[in-house]
Amino acid sequence: MADISMQLEIRRDGDIAVIETKGYIDSAGGSSITSAYNKLFDEGIRRFVVNIAQRKFINSMGVLHLLEIAAQAQSSESTIAFCCATPTIAKSFEIMGLMNFASVYDTEDEALQAYKSMQ
């Protein structure tokens, strides 16, 4: 069975926050990511990378949370990128429209470099 708890590791790379997920991204897990995003946003962070390398599974409710924060980022002049999805999860992101609201990169380094090249 999937582990129910969601662990997050938050790192900073300059003004970019990297949220690394280490749990099952369902409704509860997605909610944890949303809370972390909101807390960091309130602290003034405007550029985010969500690294899901440690996750092999995400369900529709989890994607819904990611979509909501991506849309929120779009409307609040912040940006969010996702990275390190497995091929199956990356395709689910595409099917569920996440790529309409956020960029998806193969690696965390690519996501960070993309931000830095925009400076």
Per CB under 8 A, the segment of 5-13, 44-52, 84-92, 108-116 that binds other proteins is 84-92
Residue 7 or residue 113: which is nearer to other proteins going by CB? 7
CB atoms within 10 A of CB 41: 18
The correct pick among 31, 78, 92, 103 for binding other proteins (CB under 8 A) is 92
Cβ-based neighbours of 17, under 8 Å, separated by 6 or more? 10, 11, 40, 45, 47, 48, 49
Q: Which of residues 62-81 bind other proteins (CB under 8 A)?
A: 63-64, 67-68, 71
What minimum distance in Å lies between the beta carbon of 12 and other proteins?
28
Per CB under 8 A, the segment of 11-19, 33-41, 50-58, 108-116 that binds other proteins is 50-58
Instruction: Please tell me whether residue 16 binds other proteins under the rule CB under 8 A.
Output: no
Nearest CA to 77 out of 41, 40, 46 is that of 46
Q: Which residues pair with 92 in a beta bridge?
A: none
